[in-house]
């Protein structure tokens, strides 16, 4: 099922729901500047065997409204978009899975909308308050982004032909994948072709890179989170490398931490099975606890 959710008079979000609509809902929150189709089809299908899986395009991605140039917004506004999606689909409470910036948004949901969450899973993300999550902390001792990525990000605003853009995105995924697991360029090329077809353009918006990061310096509030939360550690992540996951899990107090060996900052085919199994295990544990 596909629908369009109206956030306000300027912004509409593309939303897709897959699986039994009466099953436990799982909301997928993607990273910065990435369409909901960044969640691979196999990943969504495997989760949808048991759950009602909801994914959506952030504003300025995919088929959602491109509004930033005329109506600038803050990163924190993207978190309230997730709540708008749940409201529109009449979902009272959902398990929420956040990757990268999506993990930052899930942290905001844990703080501001805990009554809408059954549980949470985060990976590829830094804790609120640290620099990678838009915060001011410089002396936390945590490593930064791989310099190879920083060099590549210097070119993100360049104009490229469709063929050049596709090649750039595949190379970007190559770096994000890390240096351990095998990288299949054809697999990621097909993923990006689907995203481009879905978006109707090869031009990727980088609005989230320009969005206001204000209001993300809230790391000291995370200890108060009581929602059952899982942090997945990706040991080869070049964006939020170890010990970011450990730091985040400790900041969240009671959060569990599970490592997926070899995983980087990309949903490459070798990690999909372990990732689905890990998320399923967490959801089932939370639901069993809820049933008493």
Q: In what order do the strands lie in the sheet containing 12-18?
A: 2-6, 12-18, 52-56, 25-29, 94-99, 117-123, 229-233, 256-259
* Distance in angstroms (rounded) separating the CA atoms of residues 271 and 264: 9
The CA-atom distances, in angstroms, between 32 and each of 12, 181, 203 are: 17, 23, 15
Collapsing DSSP states into helix, strand and coil, what is residue 99? strand
In which region does residue 215 sit, left (phi positive, over 0), alpha (psi from -120 to 50) or beta (all else)? left
Q: Tell me the pLDDT of the chain (292 aa) as tens digits.
A: 999 999 998 999 999 999 999 999 999 999 999 999 999 999 999 999 999 999 999 999 999 999 999 999 999 999 999 999 999 999 999 999 999 999 999 999 999 999 999 999 999 999 999 876 666 665 568 899 999 999 999 888 888 999 999 999 999 999 999 999 999 999 999 999 999 999 999 988 889 988 999 999 999 999 999 999 999 999 999 999 999 999 999 999 889 999 999 999 999 999 999 999 999 999 999 999 888 7
H or E stretch at 249: helix 244-251
- Supply the pLDDT for residue 158: 86
- The two tokens of residue 62 are 């995919």
Bridging pattern class, strands 12-18 and 2-6: antiparallel
Which pLDDT value is given to residue 139?
Answer: 53
Give the residue numbers annotated as catalytic, written as ranges.
100, 237, 265
pTM: 0.96
């Amino acid at each position: 099922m596909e629908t369009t959710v109206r956030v306000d008079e300027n912004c509409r979000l593309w939303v897709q729901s897959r699986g039994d609509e009466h099953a436990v809902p799982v909301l997928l929150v993607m990273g910065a500047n990435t369409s909901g189709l960044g969640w691979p089809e196999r990943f969504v299908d495997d989760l949808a065997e048991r759950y009602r899986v909801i994914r959506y395009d952030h504003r300025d991605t995919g088929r959602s409204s491109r509004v930033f140039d005329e109506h600038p917004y803050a990163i924190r506004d993207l978190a309230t978009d997730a709540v708008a999606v749940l409201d529109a689909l009449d979902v009272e409470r959902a398990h929420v899975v956040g990757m990268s910036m999506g993990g930052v948004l899930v942290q905001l949901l844990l703080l501001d909308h805990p009554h809408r969450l059954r549980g949470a899973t985060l990976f590829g993300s830094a804790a609120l308050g640290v620099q990678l999550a838009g915060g001011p902390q410089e002396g936390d001792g945590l490593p930064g982004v791989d310099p190879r990525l920083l060099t590549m990000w210097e070119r993100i605003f360049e104009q490229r032909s469709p063929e050049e853009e596709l090649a750039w995105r595949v190379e970007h995924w190559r770096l994000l994948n890390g240096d351990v697991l095998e990288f299949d360029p054809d697999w990621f090329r097909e993923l990006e072709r689907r995203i481009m077809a879905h978006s109707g353009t090869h031009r990727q918006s980088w609005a989230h890179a320009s969005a206001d990061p204000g209001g993300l310096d809230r790391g000291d509030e995370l200890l108060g989170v009581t929602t059952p939360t899982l942090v997945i550690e990706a040991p080869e992540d070049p964006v939020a490398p170890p010990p970011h996951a450990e730091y985040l899990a400790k900041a969240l107090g009671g959060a569990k931490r599970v490592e997926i060996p070899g995983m980087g900052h990309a949903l490459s085919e070798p990690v999909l099975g372990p990732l689905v199994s890990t998320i399923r295990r967490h959801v089932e544990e939370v639901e069993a606890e809820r049933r008493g």
